[in-house]
C-alpha cells in the first residue's frame, strides 16, 4: 500500500514530528489527525483512553488511507501501540523520550527530562533511563503547562515568558555534585514547537534533544516506498477553526472531520 504518512496526536504536538519528516523526506505526502476533543490526554484513565486512541486512529486511517501511522504522542504510544498494531494492517511508529541520544552527547552526565507529568512518572521512562542513561543524573521536570503554551502558539498567541521560566526553573536549580544540566530531553512532542523561546531562556548553552529525527529515520526504514506529492489534509475531532492558520504553516491546509464508528 502506497499512501501518505499519517501523523496522530491529541493536539498540535505532532507538528514538530511533521517538521522533522519534511526535513528528511521533503516530497512525501502527509496528513494529520488530532483528537482535540479529548485533549489533554493526561486527564483520562488509561483503559478508556487506550480504547479512544485506537478508535480515533482507525477513523483517521479510513480517512487518509496512509501507508504508515506515526503516533506522535508519548502518552498514546505508551498506552495504545499494541492495540493499534493489532487493529491496523499498516506499520505503526511510536514515540519515546529521547533519553538514548541525550546520553550519547551529554558531557556533564546530568540530563534534564522536560515532559508531561504522565511521561515523567511512567515505568517505561524509568526503563529507558536504566537501559541508556544509567551513568547519568536525570532531573525530571513535569511541565504540563508548556502543552497549553504550544497549543496557543499555533492559535497565534505568543508564549508567556513567565510560564516558560517557571517550567524551566527546576532544571537550572538542579546541581548534583556541582554538575549542571547540559542536555535537555524535550519529552513531549509539543515542546519542540517552543524551542526558540526555551533556548532564549536558558542561562547557559544547553543541547535540546527531541524524538523527531529518530521517528523520521524509523519511518524511512519500515515504509521506504513513501508516496510523493502533496496531501495537506488535517482531521480533528472538534472544531478546527482556531487551528487552521497554524496548521497551514506546516503544510496542512485542508480541514476534515473524523467520523468515529459507534
Residue from 57, 64, 73, 136 carrying the catalytic annotation: 73
Q: What is the pLDDT of residue 176?
A: 59
**Angle between helical axes of 212-222 and 14-24 (0-180°, round to 10):** 60
Catalytic (active site) residue 188: yes
99-210, what's its fold? Rossmann fold (3.40.50)
Cell 497565534 maps to which residue?
A: 156
Same fold, 5-95+213-257 and 99-210: yes
The domains of the chain are located at 5-95+213-257, 99-210
**Residue 175: pLDDT over 70:** no
User: Alpha helix (H) ranges present in the chain?
Assistant: 14-24, 46-64, 74-87, 99-105, 117-121, 123-132, 145-154, 161-173, 195-201, 212-222, 244-248
Q: Count how many residues are written for the chain.
A: 262
Backbone angles phi, psi at 70, to 5 degrees: -105, 115
The Cα 10–Cα 39 span in angstroms is 6
Architecture per CATH, 5-95+213-257: 3-Layer(aba) Sandwich (3.40)
Q: What is the pLDDT of residue 43?
A: 73
Q: Strand order in 137-142's β-sheet?
A: 137-142, 110-115, 183-186, 207-209
Compute the half-sphere exposure of residue 147: CA atoms within 13 Å on the CB side of its CA: 23
Catalytic (active site) residue 57: no
Instruction: Dump pLDDT digits (tens) for 188-247.
Output: 999 999 999 999 999 989 999 999 999 999 998 988 777 777 788 999 998 777 777 788
Least confidently predicted of 68-77, 225-234, 252-261? 225-234
Residue 181 and residue 202 in contact, taking contact as beta carbons nearer than 8 Å: no
Which is more confidently placed, 175 or 117?
117
Q: What is the pLDDT of residue 166?
A: 94
Residue 121 and residue 149 in contact, taking contact as beta carbons nearer than 8 Å: no
pLDDT band at 160 (very low <50, low <70, confident <90, very high): very high
Residue from 31, 57, 136, 188 carrying the catalytic annotation: 188
The Cα 130–Cα 64 span in angstroms is 38
State the average pLDDT over residues 241-262: 82
Q: At CA 208, angle to CA 24 and CA 119, rounded to 5?
A: 95
Residue 243 and residue 236 in contact, taking contact as beta carbons nearer than 8 Å: yes
Amino acid at each position: 500500500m502506497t499512501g501518505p504518512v499519517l501523523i496522530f496526536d491529541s493536539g498540535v504536538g505532532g507538528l514538530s514530528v511533521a517538521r522533522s519528516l519534511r526535513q528528511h523526506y521533503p516530497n512525501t505526502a502527509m496528513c494529520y489527525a488530532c483528537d482535540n476533543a479529548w485533549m489533554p490526554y493526561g486527564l483520562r484513565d488509561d483503559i478508556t483512553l487506550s480504547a479512544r486512541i485506537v478508535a480515533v486512529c482507525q477513523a483517521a486511517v479510513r480517512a487518509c488511507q496512509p501507508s504508515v501511522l506515526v503516533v506522535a504522542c508519548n502518552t498514546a504510544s505508551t498506552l495504545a501501540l499494541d492495540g493499534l498494531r493489532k487493529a491496523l494492517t499498516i506499520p505503526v511508529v511510536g514515540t519515546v523520550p529521547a533519553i538514548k541520544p541525550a546520553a550519547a552527547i551529554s558531557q556533564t552526565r546530568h540530563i534534564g527530562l522536560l515532559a508531561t507529568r504522565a511521561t515523567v512518572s511512567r515505568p517505561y521512562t524509568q526503563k529507558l533511563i536504566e537501559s541508556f542513561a544509567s551513568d547519568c543524573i536525570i532531573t525530571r521536570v513535569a511541565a504540563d503547562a508548556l502543552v497549553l503554551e504550544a497549543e496557543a502558539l499555533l492559535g497565534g498567541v505568543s508564549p508567556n515568558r513567565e510560564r516558560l521560566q517557571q517550567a524551566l526553573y527546576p532544571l537550572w536549580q538542579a546541581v548534583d555534585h556541582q554538575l549542571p544540566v547540559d542536555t535537555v530531553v524535550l519529552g513531549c512532542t509539543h515542546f519542540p514547537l517552543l524551542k526558540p523561546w526555551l533556548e532564549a531562556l536558558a542561562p547557559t548553552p544547553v543541547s535540546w534533544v527531541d524524538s523527531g529525527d529518530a521517528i523520521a529515520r524509523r519511518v524511512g526504514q519500515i515504509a521506504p516506498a513513501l508516496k510523493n506529492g502533496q496531501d495537506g489534509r488535517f482531521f480533528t475531532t472538534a472544531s478546527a477553526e482556531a487551528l487552521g492558520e497554524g496548521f497551514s504553516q506546516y503544510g496542512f491546509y485542508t480541514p476534515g472531520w473524523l467520523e468515529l464508528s459507534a
